[in-house]
Structure 1
Amino acid sequence: MAPLVPRMHVFEFADMPWFPPFLRAYMQAALTATWTTHVPLLQTSSPAQIVAHLLRTHLGPTLHSHIFIDFCAGGGGPTPSIERHLNTTTPTTTTTAKTQTNGTRASQDGGGGEEPLHFVLTDLHPHADMWAQAAAQAAAPGAISYVAEPVDAADVPRELIRRYTGGEKKVFRLFNLAFHHFDDGLARRILRDTVEGGGEGFGIFELQDRGIAGFVACCLLGVGIMILAPYYALLWGAPMALVFTYLLPILPAVLVFDGWMSCLRTRTPDEIEALLRTCGAEGGEEEIAKWEVMSGSEMFMWPVGYVDWVICVKRDGARRD
């Protein structure tokens, strides 16, 4: 069913260049916590666990033939948690890996079973220090790499793709809580680059939509941050987060407001498919017809917490060997 509210490309405080970077960092940390936290009595699983399950289910036996590149990684987001869930629940080889200073995997050897899945963190505004920590804490050695230079998801250097695939892996692009930030023109350019850039699939994962549940979930996020702020302030080593949560409640207020704006920005699967079909990719409709679009909504917290997802992959006959 189409949402009653039309999509609106409204502004969010955290997108503004004048928004204080330290507050933006707190917000990114809070959103990462939303992705990765699993409260057993309240949640069936964390959103990151759901994304890991979706990737395993819909990529099936081709899962290990992919390398996963997060093109809007921010401070790390859920990708390190997704890596952990997939590489600790999937039989893998015993490996040794070397990681260069920019996070690029240099070598990996092992025998028996599958190689660990490999994830690459990139962004137009890199967070190399945070990504280095995530890479060091990966479940499998060398499983997380990062690109310390800016990467434009609408114009990804082909050399970067070759650097990580080695001509052997298929690229699967991740957009975690990110695709709603792009206006229609930029979204089309990103999808065109995805189709023309040798990729074999992409996934768009959001924690909000334009329905009532999405707006209520954003309110609960604000409440949750106020309840858990002491714990996260200690975890982040950021006592000033308490000041901006309780004394000056800017953090919960902006999280809720930007969450509502994100709801208004979020596209339905049909709207994403329409952008894909009109992205202007070389080969036109014939090329787009090679791609299969799957979508759904998975509850992670009753009654309003959902992961809304779109996974698009090349159909079997169109995939390269």
Structure 2
Amino acid sequence: MKLRLHLFEFEDQPWFPAVIRAGMMDYLRFMITRLHTYRPIAPLLAEGLRRTDQTNVLELCAGAGGGAEDVLLTLQKLGLAEACITLTDLYPQPEAWAHIRRQTGGAIGFAPASVNALQVPAELPGFRAVFSAFHHFRPAMAEALLRDAVLAGRGVGVFEGAGKHWLELLLACTVMPVALLLITPFIRPFRLSRLVFTYLLPLIPLFTIWDGMISILRMYPPDTLLALARRADPEERYVWQAGKKRHSWGPEVTYLVGWPK
């Protein structure tokens, strides 16, 4: 699917209730972790860390930290025993992040203050990574995110947990709501609000289904990702790769990675 439509997503709106956003992010974190969504791109991320002499992944737009634990474990299995991850977001979620920090013995930490992915503070080092969030940015802002990494001399990778197919749209509006209703009681940390807004007043499922479908329509295909990277790096100081990696059981991950030559 080459078509890209930047339609309305509730999660993007500053007025959107934080309690509903947190419930949506908790669900995505649970699913991304349990399905091992980003395991196929871990070797690319490991290569980026080695080529930039880094051990820390600076995750931008981290949401609730979905997949961070699985990515960390896979990096360690690939020989990066000292690998660690720092979670950041424009809308920080310290409660969810503190749970992840405890689960990983501090190997996954976080920056408690708001972090703009287009203007990352210099005091936050590491290989910059964006999981399941690059589609939120319109082309000019997506290019600015990449340019900020280039100007800082940081490695950067953007990863979307889908291959942008029509079948994925169908799954988003059929399988996703059923999965959300089934797994919500098992998501940790426990929140009473998550149960209320899932079963009594089902705002979390409704908004998750809508935003999930729009996210797929917003995704950039690999050739567009490369075009954005080249505009962000007009002096061609970076090596860029873009494409798709497939799970052994079918689903794909779309990616762009770059590091200084």
CA distance in structure 1 between the partners assigned to 2:209 and 2:224 by the alignment: 25
Look up the SS of the partner of 1:74 in the other structure.
Answer: coil
CA distance in structure 1 between the partners assigned to 2:5 and 2:61 by the alignment: 21
Structure 1 gaps of 5+ residues are 39-45, 92-113, 162-170
Look up the SS of the partner of 1:244 in the other structure.
Answer: helix
Look up the SS of the partner of 2:123 in the other structure.
Answer: helix
CA distance in structure 2 between the partners assigned to 1:119 and 1:60 by the alignment: 12
1:126 aligns with 2:97: no
Residue matched to 2:5: 8
Which one-letter code corresponds to 1:299 in the other structure? H
Task: Go from structure 1 to structure 2 and tell me whether the alpha carbon gap of 1:240 and 1:17 turns closer, same or farther (over 3 Å shift).
Answer: same
1:216 aligns with 2:145: no
Structure 2 gaps of 5+ residues are none
**Structure ranking higher on relative contact order (CA contacts 8 Å, 6+ apart):** 2
Residue matched to 1:272: 225
Task: Go from structure 1 to structure 2 and tell me whether the alpha carbon gap of 1:157 and 1:245 turns closer, same or farther (over 3 Å shift).
Answer: closer
How is 1:205-244 mapped onto 2 (pairs within 5 angstroms)? 205-219=159-173, 220-232=175-187, 235-244=188-197
1:81 aligns with 2:70: yes
Look up the SS of the partner of 1:221 in the other structure.
Answer: helix
CA distance in structure 1 between the partners assigned to 2:249 and 2:198 by the alignment: 23
Residue matched to 1:28: 25
1:173–1:202 Cα contact (<8 Å) kept: yes
Which one-letter code corresponds to 1:184 in the other structure? P
1:300–1:307 Cα contact (<8 Å) kept: no
Give a deviation string over 1:101-126, Cα, whole Å, max 9, x none. xxxxxxxxxxxxx6511211112222
Identity, in percent, stands at 32
- 1:134, distance to aligned residue in structure 2 (A): 2.0
- 1:70, distance to aligned residue in structure 2 (A): 0.4
CA distance in structure 2 between the partners assigned to 1:241 and 1:115 by the alignment: 35
Which one-letter code corresponds to 2:253 in the other structure? V
1:308 aligns with 2:254: yes
Aligned pair count?
A: 260
1:55–1:63 Cα contact (<8 Å) kept: no
2:51–2:259 Cα contact (<8 Å) kept: no
Structure number with larger C-alpha Rg: 1
Task: Go from structure 1 to structure 2 and tell me whether the alpha carbon gap of 1:196 and 1:61 turns closer, same or farther (over 3 Å shift).
Answer: closer
Decide which of 80, 83, 108 is 1:117's aligned counterpart.
Answer: 83
Considering only aligned residues, what root-mean-square deviation do their CA atoms show, in Å? 2.5
Look up the SS of the partner of 1:158 in the other structure.
Answer: coil
Decide which of 95, 98, 103 is 1:137's aligned counterpart.
Answer: 103
Look up the SS of the partner of 1:264 in the other structure.
Answer: helix
- 1:266, distance to aligned residue in structure 2 (A): 0.5
- 1:249, distance to aligned residue in structure 2 (A): 2.8
1:124–1:151 Cα contact (<8 Å) kept: yes
Question: TM-score normalized by structure 2?
Answer: 0.87
Residue matched to 2:117: 153
Give a deviation string over 1:191-248, Cα, whole Å, max 9, x none. 111111111x22211123542122123122222112223333xx44234433433343
- 1:63, distance to aligned residue in structure 2 (A): 8.3
Question: TM-score normalized by structure 1?
Answer: 0.72
Decide which of 114, 118, 139 is 1:184's aligned counterpart.
Answer: 139
Residue matched to 1:103: none
CA distance in structure 2 between the partners assigned to 1:197 and 1:274 by the alignment: 20
How is 1:55-70 mapped onto 2 (pairs within 5 angstroms)? 55-56=45-46, 58-59=47-48, 62=51, 65-70=54-59
CA distance in structure 1 between the partners assigned to 2:167 and 2:248 by the alignment: 13
1:299 aligns with 2:252: no
Give a deviation string over 1:6-47, Cα, whole Å, max 9, x none. 212111112222322111111000000111114xxxxxxx11
CA distance in structure 1 between the partners assigned to 2:202 and 2:134 by the alignment: 28
Which one-letter code corresponds to 1:183 in the other structure? R
Residue matched to 1:167: none
